[in-house]
Amino acid sequence: MSNINKKSPSFQEVIGVQDISHESAAACSGGQIILYDGTSYTGESFYRQDGSYSTLGSFNNRASSYNVLSGSWNAYSGTNFTSSEWYGPSGGGSLRLTGAGNLSSIYNNSISSIKRN
């Protein structure tokens, strides 16, 4: 008997496959950052994957270097994504982090919240 006229099952019918929201799909796409309390990626580290972190808890105002493993992140001097003194190229009040590096003097030990772009 031939299977030519047999339809493939829809995704909802396949065991182990489920529909997820756009927000969940974006989270799965990746975005990782590591903040360090020492320069040149030394000292205690603070790892986060995707999402928004309105406060860094015990790592508040401690970051001196960073490594963005994937994606890009905005860093803010205030909690809840606020910044009083930072004015990036777009004037948005946040520092955009990509790649890896040491934080310059104005940003060193001044990050209080982060958000993935």
Task: Copy the structure tokens of residue 16.
Answer: 């182990």
Alpha-carbon 103 to chain mean position: 17
pTM of the predicted model as reported, rounded to 2 decimal places: 0.70
pLDDT above 50 (res 12): yes
Higher pLDDT, 94 or 104: 104
Q: Read off the pLDDT of residues 69-91 as tens digits, 9 standing for 90 and up.
A: 988 999 998 999 988 655 454 44
pLDDT confidence band for 2 (50 / 70 / 90) = low
Neighbours of 116 (CB within 10 A): 23
